[in-house]
Structure 1
Amino acid sequence: MAKTGFLKLREKLAYGFGDLASVLYWQTFMLYFTFFYTDVFVIPAAAASTMFLVSRVWDGINDPLMGIVADRTETRWGKFRPYLLWMCVPFAVMGVLTFTTPDFGPTGKLVWAYATFIGLMMLYTAVNIPYTALLGVITPDPAERTSVSSIKFMFAFGAGFIVSASLLPMVSALGGGDDAKGWSLSFVVYGIAAVVFFLIAFAGTRERVRPPRTQKPSIKRDLSELVTNVPWLLLLATTMAWVLFVAVRSSVTVHYFKYYVGTQDLVLPFLGAKTYTFEWIVSAFNTIGQAASLVGVLLVSWFARQVGKKNAFIILFASGVVLTAAFFWLKPEQVLLMFVLQIVSSLTSGPLCVLLWAMYADSADYGEWKRGRRTTGLVFSASTMSQKFGWAFGAFVSLQLMAQLGFAPNVDQTPDTLRGLLLLMSLIPAVFGILSIVIVCFYPLNEHKLADIEKVLNERRAAEGATTPAG
């Protein structure tokens, strides 16, 4: 890395492999967890919603605890990288257990679901919080962090593409008609891949930004300064509303296509006229969305340089909100129009996570500049806590509404249930999207302010020698 803070491409790519591993699971959580538990594991929607809420709230509480632990970890590899090495195998093993359906009664299955899901998410926290915090210490340069964040999410959307395109077909192929067996074996495959990818991220990256040498460990001061970091608080609220936008919709996407759209006779370019099952349609819908998001990620760094990260977030998200709301007026047979809206909305709203995580790294710089203390792990872990709370509440709202409207798996749904699915796919997430845009309007760190902060911090770090790479 040159003195200016620029990273070589190979290190940026190595860092991206960590998200390739993580999102094999996170994309499954987003798109298929509610479907897996209601239609494969077969527990009632209301019971599944409570499990999601309880387990993810508990998991969210663990995030800042993990951040505090990581900030205080000292090894020859740094503070955050070692957890990629230590936790990748236990995480993969727990993934297989989570997607294994035991031959238990209703109570036993629910206990198994709670135990394995909570265990999986705790291990996800143990590997992903340090991995995410690594973004804040891999380089001191804010523009380079946006570039690294873009590559991170290129790999993330690549993993999303893999899950969307391969998971349901792989379940079918490996299960041979037994979906429960297919899900379990599929996560043996994903688990092996995840271990390899985490190890690449561990071996190929370095930590360069250290806390000031004069900083004394103090959990009380760290927490106090975090909750008085105004840019971080605004990002936290923005992220919560954004995650609700994504989570509510993603939680019912498979149900929407299974029960509202169903099997369709379509005439598609290059494929001609054919009857397509809902599994094929939803897999193609999610896959094309991931591909469009990946294109958006390739362009977002350039766009953010033109208008600033905050303005880029507002412009792109506003487009995604409008296109999501438009699903309310689509009929089941308008599948091609659904795909068009998915492509454009994914192109604009897919890159938002790139901007958010780069802005979180900026807020860590702000905290160090303002107070003289750097708590990178805590900043990122408390931020992922908001994500998990958002996912918990989003899935809870979706499943509770479905239960209240009489949803039952694997049967024809009532008109009220179908209308509920339509609202959860369109207008309800759009409301959360509008809220997120309103909140981010108050975010105070523009590019001019960040340049001033970077200059001051570089002078301090040069004087203290706080940017020596960890091996």
Structure 2
Amino acid sequence: MDTIGKKLGLKEKMAYGCGDAASNIIWASTGTFLMFYYTDVVNINAATIGVIFLIARVINAVVALLTGWLIDNTHSKYGKARPWLLWFAVPFGIVTFAIFAVPDVAKLYQIIYVFIAYNAMMSVYSLINIPYGSMATMMTKDQYQRTLLNIFRQLFAQIASLLVTAGTLPLINFMTEYVGEKKAWSIVYGIFGVIAAILFFLCFAGCKERIHENEETKTEKIRVVDGVKAVLKNKYWHMLMVISICINIFFQAISTVNTYYSKAILHNSSMISILNTAYIVPAIATFFFVHLVVKKYGKGKTTMFGWMIICVSYVILLPFTENTTVLIITAAMRGVGYCFLLAVSSAMVSDAVEYGEWKTKIRVEGLTFSMQGFVGTIAAGIVTAVIGWVLNFSKYDGTLSFADTQAGSAVLAIKLLFIAVPFVVGVLNIILLKFYKLDKMYPQIIEDLNKRNGK
């Protein structure tokens, strides 16, 4: 029988990575192109899209919380989290296509369609991604193996992000010649949807839950109230929520805002893919050695190092905001820093699960991850809504071409969103991480839990 600290094989790690590659087909697309598609291709007002995104995130926050409770109370031959990948792989592919398939109807009906499609996508994303994230906690308790799982997860995610962000516009431009721009978006994301579904099936087939096989079978239901109380008593969950929200703000700056930056400031559509590639390629390269940093310094300090690199890149960029060479160099720096954040983010939440069980004597993997999704989803909704509102308030005009000049207020607003906001959240995170002590506590926590559970 497998032990909780078993070294996981390469095939299983790669299979686990396929899950986040699938997730990032949507994550990278919504971050980089979705708002742009709605405002500049479908021509829906940016403020309206911001409201839709915010409402959808609030609704999805409830779905995320419910998903966590369902995971903790799922008992199947495949485990607790793993079967959800099987059940929702095909729906995930369908909603990937649907969000980029706005029909040519009256504007009001387009807005209604976007509202329904975006809500469906967010719900399906939670129903498959939260189980996927919590599954690592059930595959091994070994802290380093979890880190390696997370590194494979994020490595595959960034490869998928690179292919999506660098490949989408060339594919759209190619297809546009034959079917027109709007249909081109639908066809390309129909293809991406099929690929995403296949990747989730591969993840399901190649991974195995072990933790509950080695513990006494637990069939009793965990009340939502008790589970939520247990998570809220976990101080490291609170800390990681703040860090997660800040990572999302940073991601919006290098993805969503980057698209508008390339249009309004650089007047060059090719810079969208260039800047995305400039940060993703160094991030991918960094994944091959970041485990050495984690092993020597721990997850907390690795995250702090990442934010330091990101903040330095913005200091360098500030005097040269329209210099493409500096933009590319600093984007590469941000890619390295971003890798440091991603390499340990999910593994830190898994460690917080053990801390929560140690602290409260209640183990709730699903709720821990879903409550992260609950808070993170609302925060992400606010962030994307604010971006839409700021663009609208600053007089950004989505009907203008890349060659046209936007209002000065729009240019200033986009620069602030692209540079100042992520710099500020980076500084706040560096300060917060000085209080992260879980890396040092973890070995004793596991020893205590093993004694408590009779291991």
Deviation at 1:296, TM superposition (A): 2.1
Partner of 1:63: 64
On the 8 A contact 1:160/1:287 being kept in 2, the answer is no
Partner of 1:422: 415
Please, which moves more after superposition, 452-461 or 238-247? 452-461
Counterpart of 2:105, as a letter, is F
Partner of 2:302: 312
Partner of 2:329: 340
On the 8 A contact 1:248/1:395 being kept in 2, the answer is no
Deviation at 1:460, TM superposition (A): 4.5
Distance 2:4 2:46 in 1: 55
1:115-161 Cα shifts (integer Å, max 9, x gaps):
00000110111111111110111111111100110011010101111
Partner of 2:240: 235
On the 8 A contact 1:360/1:380 being kept in 2, the answer is yes
Partner of 1:154: 155
Counterpart of 1:415, as a letter, is G
Distance 2:319 2:174 in 1: 36
Q: 1:164 to 1:439 in 2, by over 3 A?
A: same
Deviation at 1:389, TM superposition (A): 2.5
Q: 1:84 to 1:336 in 2, by over 3 A?
A: same
On the 8 A contact 1:248/1:425 being kept in 2, the answer is yes
Partner of 2:435: 442
Q: 1:9 to 1:458 in 2, by over 3 A?
A: farther
Please, which moves more after superposition, 353-362 or 390-399? 390-399
Percent identity (aligned): 26
Please, which moves more after superposition, 158-167 or 350-359? 350-359
Please, which moves more after superposition, 173-182 or 105-114? 173-182
Q: 1:331 to 1:239 in 2, by over 3 A?
A: closer
Question: Which residue of 230, 233, 257 maps to 1:252?
Answer: 257
Distance 1:206 1:398 in 2: 40
Q: 1:320 to 1:336 in 2, by over 3 A?
A: same
Counterpart of 2:205, as a letter, is A
1:86-137 Cα shifts (integer Å, max 9, x gaps):
1111121122121112111111110000000000110111111111110111
Partner of 2:32: 31
On the 8 A contact 1:60/1:388 being kept in 2, the answer is yes
Distance 2:92 2:374 in 1: 19
Partner of 1:468: none
Partner of 1:375: 364
Question: What SS does structure 1 have at the residue aligned with 2:269?
Answer: helix
Which runs of structure 2 are paired with 1:34-183 in the superposition (5 Å)?
34-176=35-177, 178-183=180-185
1:301-326 Cα shifts (integer Å, max 9, x gaps):
21011111111111221120231354
Please, which moves more after superposition, 201-210 or 243-252? 243-252
Question: What SS does structure 1 have at the residue aligned with 2:300?
Answer: helix
Q: With structure 2 as the length reference, what TM-score do the two structures score?
A: 0.94
Q: 1:3 to 1:138 in 2, by over 3 A?
A: closer
Deviation at 1:163, TM superposition (A): 0.7
Deviation at 1:174, TM superposition (A): 2.1
Partner of 1:196: 198
Distance 2:5 2:91 in 1: 38
Question: What SS does structure 1 have at the residue aligned with 2:139?
Answer: coil
Distance 2:418 2:233 in 1: 36
Counterpart of 1:429, as a letter, is P
Counterpart of 1:329, as a letter, is P
Which runs of structure 2 are paired with 1:328-407 in the superposition (5 Å)?
328-332=318-322, 334-407=323-396
Counterpart of 1:281, as a letter, is M
Please, which moves more after superposition, 2-11 or 392-401? 2-11
Which structure 1 residue ranges, 5 or more long, are not aligned? 263-277, 464-471
Question: What SS does structure 2 have at the residue aligned with 1:410?
Answer: coil
Partner of 1:206: 208
Counterpart of 2:16, as a letter, is Y
Question: What SS does structure 1 have at the residue aligned with 2:430?
Answer: helix
Counterpart of 1:106, as a letter, is K
1:225 aligns with 2:223: no
Counterpart of 1:454, as a letter, is I
Distance 1:393 1:326 in 2: 29
Distance 1:209 1:321 in 2: 39
Distance 2:172 2:55 in 1: 28
Deviation at 1:205, TM superposition (A): 0.6
Distance 2:369 2:287 in 1: 20
On the 8 A contact 1:39/1:409 being kept in 2, the answer is yes
Q: Which structure has the highest helix share of the two? A: 2
1:411-460 Cα shifts (integer Å, max 9, x gaps):
2301121111111110122112222332232223123x111112233344
Counterpart of 2:397, as a letter, is A
Q: With structure 1 as the length reference, what TM-score do the two structures score?
A: 0.91
Which structure 2 residue ranges, 5 or more long, are not aligned? none
Question: Which residue of 283, 290, 293 maps to 1:303?
Answer: 293
Question: What SS does structure 1 have at the residue aligned with 2:124?
Answer: helix
RMSD, aligned CA: 1.7
Question: What SS does structure 1 have at the residue aligned with 2:188?
Answer: helix
Q: 1:216 to 1:67 in 2, by over 3 A?
A: closer
Give the number of aligned pairs: 446
Distance 1:396 1:3 in 2: 43
Show structure 1 runs of 4+ deviating over 6 A. Answer: none
On the 8 A contact 2:4/2:210 being kept in 1, the answer is no
Distance 2:319 2:50 in 1: 27
On the 8 A contact 2:254/2:276 being kept in 1, the answer is no
Distance 1:100 1:344 in 2: 35
